[in-house]
Amino acid sequence: MLRTPTDQTRLRILAWLKEPGPAADGVTADAVAERFSMPRPVAVTHLRLLQATGMLRTSRSAGREHYHRDEMRIAEVARMFEKGW
C-alpha cells in the first residue's frame, strides 16, 4: 500500500494537504480530482489507499467525506523509513 506510482501522485496529495488554504481544512475526492486533473474514481482510490495506511483521516460535513492529513501517523512512518525499515 505504500507503493507510490511513478508520478508520485499520493505524495503530491499529501503535500497539497499540508499547504495552508482550502486543503488545510480537508478536501473531498472531487477537489482532489479537480486539483490533479484525474477522474474522480482515481482520486478516490488514492485517498482510500492513503487512509488505509493511516496517513489520512476522514470527517463528514454536509454529507460529504473530507480527507485530512494525520500528522502523527505521517511522522511515525517517516521515522520508520529513516531507521531503514
What are the phi and psi torsion angles at 9 (to 5°)?
A: -55, -45
pLDDT one-digit tens code per residue, 4-60: 555 689 989 999 999 888 777 889 999 999 999 999 999 999 999 999 999 999 999
Nearest to 67 by CA among 15, 32, 35: 32
Q: How confident is the model at residue 1 (pLDDT cuts 50, 70, 90)?
A: very low
Domains of the chain are 15-83 (1.10.10.10)
pLDDT one-digit tens code per residue, 11-25: 899 999 998 887 778
DSSP state of 21: S
Q: Are 32 and 43 in contact (CB under 8 A)?
A: yes
CA 20 to chain centre: 15
40-52 helix and 9-18 helix, angle to the nearest 10 degrees? 80
pLDDT one-digit tens code per residue, 68-81: 999 999 899 888 88
